[in-house]
A and B are shown apart, each in its own frame.
Chain A
């Protein structure tokens, strides 16, 4: 199966700064990863995904980096805004996806004014 974990439970950054959220996974067979954002009282929302044949993917203000050698991925958020405050999860698919997305523990990102 897949095990996905995060290094820091809470990350506090100043508004306007860049933030980096890290995630480690255990199953080298994982071939699809997603970052989700969960705001209070809401369900997880898709941010960005990356497949194992890529090492970087960019979206609007977000970049996901994948390092398969050390089984690590990160989410970079540029120029953070108050609306970025949320819990961020990495999730991975392995074993053909039959086991469903496996989520990490989550990092609470706090944007300081």
Chain B
């Protein structure tokens, strides 16, 4: 069983569209995250969500919004997509927000978003 799964794996869409990326974890972890990886492989945190508390990286545009229907899911909604949003987006989870558990964060396999 995949621990952290994301769908879709690839997403190609036009500028201005609204899209969502889904994430589910079956590890029973308390905290989930979204990371953005740019073309230079740099990974930057966008959000963390724990027990209904959302922590947002202040550099993330408000066009991005996480939605958590339950503890096992954290979906990423993006409105009015722009060319610069093209990147690989990774979902992750951890048992303990403060220390990241003894195995750190568990990452999904990523969603490659291409905005044309």
Residues on A facing B (Cβ under 8 Å): 32, 34, 36, 38, 41-46, 49, 87, 89, 91, 93, 96-103, 105-106
Contacts and interface: CB of A to CB of B under 8 A. Distances in A.
A28 to B, nearest CB: 18
Interface of B: 4, 33, 35, 40-45, 48, 55, 90, 92, 96-100, 102-110
Contact of B99 (A44, A89, A91, A97): A97
A100 B109 contact: no
A51 B28 CA distance: 24
A106 B41 CA distance: 7
A61 B41 CA distance: 25
B24 to A, nearest CB: 14
Contacts of A106: 41-43
Given A42-B110, A87-B41, A100 B104 contact: no
Contacts of B103: 46, 49
A26 to B, nearest CB: 16
Given A87-B41, A97-B99, A100-B48, A41 B109 contact: yes
B106 A103 contact: no
6 tightest A-B CB contacts, nearest first: A43-B107, A103-B43, A100-B45, A97-B98, A34-B104, A106-B41
B108 A43 contact: yes
Contacts of B90: 43-44
Q: Which of B40, B41, B108, B109 has the most CB of A within 10 A?
A: B41
A32 B113 CA distance: 31
B39 to A, nearest CB: 12
